[in-house]
Amino acid sequence: MELKTLEEIDIQLAPTSKINEVDFDNLTFGTTFTDHMLVCDFADGEWKKPVIQPYAPMTIDPSAKVFHYGQAIFEGMKAYKDANDAVWLFRPDQNYERFNKSAVRMAMPEVPEEVFLGGLKRLLEIEKDWVKKGLGNSLYIRPFMIATGPGVIAAPAKFYRFMIILSPAKAYYSGEVKVLIAEHYSRAANGGIGAAKAAGNYAAQFYPTQLANEQGFQQVIWTDDATHTKLEEAGTMNVFIRINDTLYTAPTSERILDGVTRKSVIELAKRENIAVEERSVLVTELVEAAKNDSLKEIFGAGTAAVINPIAGFSYKGDYFELPKLADSIAVEIKTKLTNIQNKLAEDTFGWTVKI
Amino acid sequence: MELKTLEEIDIQLAPTSKINEVDFDNLTFGTTFTDHMLVCDFADGEWKKPVIQPYAPMTIDPSAKVFHYGQAIFEGMKAYKDANDAVWLFRPDQNYERFNKSAVRMAMPEVPEEVFLGGLKRLLEIEKDWVKKGLGNSLYIRPFMIATGPGVIAAPAKFYRFMIILSPAKAYYSGEVKVLIAEHYSRAANGGIGAAKAAGNYAAQFYPTQLANEQGFQQVIWTDDATHTKLEEAGTMNVFIRINDTLYTAPTSERILDGVTRKSVIELAKRENIAVEERSVLVTELVEAAKNDSLKEIFGAGTAAVINPIAGFSYKGDYFELPKLADSIAVEIKTKLTNIQNKLAEDTFGWTVKI
Ligand SMILES: Cc1ncc(COP(=O)(O)O)c(C=O)c1O
Ligand SMILES: Cc1ncc(COP(=O)(O)O)c(C=O)c1O
């Protein structure tokens, strides 16, 4: 895949750069932003000319529908720099497609490829110094769209803003991750918006996640809301469960995000002859497997964290510690995947795209 | 109930008023705003001094969590003016309590009563000319809170903004309302945020509602997401079903908003010796009742629309027209309720509160 350059764009460069003020060894995920952002407005039924401008607060009406009705979607991707200072994206076509699927589900206009991917290319060319070399370093990319149209009536807006902001990143999660299996709260409904990267899906998880945090768990693994018997996914990661030598992950559905990392893990596992099955794992199966020691690993998979091994899980008050393996599939897959992303290993899949 | 005045407030009056530019006979719901708004920021773990200032766009960081994670809640209430030019609210304590319940569910700080109700009183004193006399006229009140704190990491913000904006209103819905009973899409999950007035609940309904609109239905009546067999509520209204001479409405739950109009209709019906039962009505029951003519009425109940009679419903491709009754309970209750709200009838319940 090759990214087309977007020619129709206004570029207003920042007079100075903040880059020398940033301590790249001590970054808190998602809090430092680069010098520029891309802004593209939708009005009168069409997308206007995109603008790259200095990153700055923006002006918005208090009645904008994003504030009242949560009409907002986003994506999360990363750029990596190889040993020769070239900048690479990982499967950006997947994020672009998913973004527009989210847009349709949220009754928002789809964003043209030249604005989303072509605009991103222009932005990354300008911000390339913000992408640092070395495994673990990346530039987190946040494309998003908000309903800027005014009016406190629950109906889709007529005005939207698409933006891309960039944030240099180290690894997302640190330390041991213990998870709580949801017994009562849920992330998504059948016929709901769980498969969309819709803003509202995330705030909905904050309170139950806070309750889990208070009990010493960093994350929640959600279960289906109707029966709470099937394992679904975590807040910002799909979940893989290794029982004996097979990996299981929930099939994508209306309730589950079709993760780019998830599908890459599946393809990578297949290439490595690791058995992988897309099927719902029951909580009872998980507990049973933990008890009879056939449960070997659980890990999360998502752009921010890449692969996140889980140290243990709690269900109905019982805590199950996972074994510490010498031959962890999570570690193997993480290495293989990050090597591809960072251009340290050959990309036999054609996943990486040069800027 | 009496509203305490908020003393600790900054007031910056607009130099001129827009009121003479407004055509109060031709208002589109939720699009015209008064001269002032109330703004109160939360930072460093506390609410700062509220400010009443001219209604105007505001400045906000592109990484504010409201844009990315939908951490936002709102309320909807109305002010009415009586024959003696006094301004009245309807059960504002209920909206205040519900707002803070929503805040807890969305991991947002609760707003103090003196800011929410005391601040509203101050704002309405300033904007009293925007409340017009006469049945059908009201000033729609939109208190809301957004996460202004920056950062593209899915976790609760540290900074919030509470605001109140005001919009003069006529009736919300016009014309015949035909509804579609949801077969596939849903509004809320068990263990989800359906009972909160969370922004994300509303955009989630836009797409399925658009699909219904295209088929000639103005609204969707949602069913439970697990089985799609139980009738729940509409997008911004609770739903009442009259079979023979009994009114049925779904019990409030995690999936259903505890509507102020709903509870007022129940109390009013009881006073008038109209049988009313809070229990789930099955879609099959509704269809059966329509077929054997025991189904007399369906109506929505919500602040914006007050009482909204439904002309007919569609389920699995079959359309059922409702009878046009001379002795409609919807009409009777609407009259009684709006008379109380507008101070045209005695308020035996103590629901109305003077500004
Ligand atoms: C709910 C949810 N699940 C899973 C993922 C992982 O998806 P991806 O691998 O595309 O980042 C994300 C996104 O980060 C997410 O928000
Ligand atoms: C989902 C939903 N149901 C019902 C209602 C009716 O509630 P109330 O009567 O308090 O306005 C609303 C609010 O307007 C709502 O948003």
Pairing between β-strand B58-60 and β-strand A51-54 as defined by DSSP bridges:
unpaired
Token pair 């491709």: residue: B317
pLDDT of A172 higher than 80: no
Start and end residues for every CATH 3.30.470.10 domain found in chain B: 10-170
> Helix B200-214 crosses helix A200-214 at what angle (to 10 degrees)?
150
Contact present, B215 and B312 (Cβ < 8 Å): no
Instruction: Report, as an integer, the average pLDDT of B206-226.
Output: 97
Residues of chain A with CATH 3.20.10.10: 177-341
Residue B149's Cα: distance from chain center in Å? 26
B11 touches chain A (CB under 8 A): no
Which residues numbered 159-188 in B keep a CB inside 8 Å of some CB on A?
A: 163, 165, 167, 172, 182, 184-188
Instruction: List chain A residues with CB under 8 Å of B65.
Output: 203
Tell me whether B59 touches chain A (CB under 8 Å): yes
Q: Which residue of A58, A70, A165 is in closest CB contact with B203?
A: A70
Q: How many helices (H) and strands (E) does chain A have?
A: 8, 19
Q: What is the pLDDT of residues A312-328, one digit of tens each?
A: 999 999 999 999 999 99
Q: Which fold has domain A10-170?
A: D-amino Acid Aminotransferase; Chain A, domain 1 (3.30.470)
Measured CA to CA in angstroms, residue A75 lies from A143, A236, B229 at distances of 5, 11, 34
Helix (H, G, I), strand (E, B) or coil at B293: coil
pLDDT at B146: 98
B53 contacts B37 by C-beta, under 8 angstroms:
yes
Residues of B in contact with A63 (CB under 8 A): 30, 33, 142, 165, 167
pLDDT digits (tens, 9 = 90+) for A191-250: 999 999 999 999 999 999 999 999 999 999 999 999 999 999 999 999 999 999 999 999
CB-count exposure of residue B213 (10 Å: 0-12, 13-18, 19+): middle
Euclidean distance between CA atoms B57 and B179, whole angstroms: 36
Q: Which of A257, A262, A299, A341 to mutate to test the pocket of ligand 1 (most atoms within 8 A of CB)?
A: A257
Arithmetic mean of pLDDT over chain A: 96
Distance (Å, whole) CA A141 – CA A38:
11
Say yes or no for a CB contact (<8 Å) between A203 and B107. Answer: yes
Cα separation, B235 vs A137, whole angstroms? 45
**Percent with pLDDT over 90 in chain B:** 95
Q: What is the DSSP string of A260-277?
A: HHHHHHHHHHHHTT-EEE
Pairing of strands A77-81, A87-90: antiparallel
What is the number of the ligand 1 atom nearest to the C-alpha of A264? Answer: 9
Please identify among residues 323-352 of chain B the ones whose CB lies closer than 8 Å to any CB of chain A. Answer: none
Q: What pLDDT score does B176 carry?
A: 82
Q: Which residues from A are below 8 Å from B205, CB to CB?
A: 154
CA of B124 to the centre of ligand 2 (A): 22
Please check whether residue B54 touches A, CB under 8 A.
no
**A58 vs B60: CB contact, 8 Å cut-off?**
yes
CA distance A165 to B69: 15
Contact B106 A184 (CB under 8 A): no
Name residues whose C-beta falls within 8 Å of residue B88's C-beta, 6 or more positions apart in sequence.
B79, B80, B81, B82, B341, B343, B352, B353, B354, B355
CA B37 vs CA A86, A165, B162: distances in Å: 50, 30, 11
Distance between Cα B258 and ligand 2 center (Å): 7
Superfamily of domain A177-341: D-amino Acid Aminotransferase, subunit A, domain 2 (3.20.10.10)
> What is the torsional sign of CA B29, B35, B38, B41?
positive
Partners of B74 on chain A (C-beta within 8 Å) are: 68
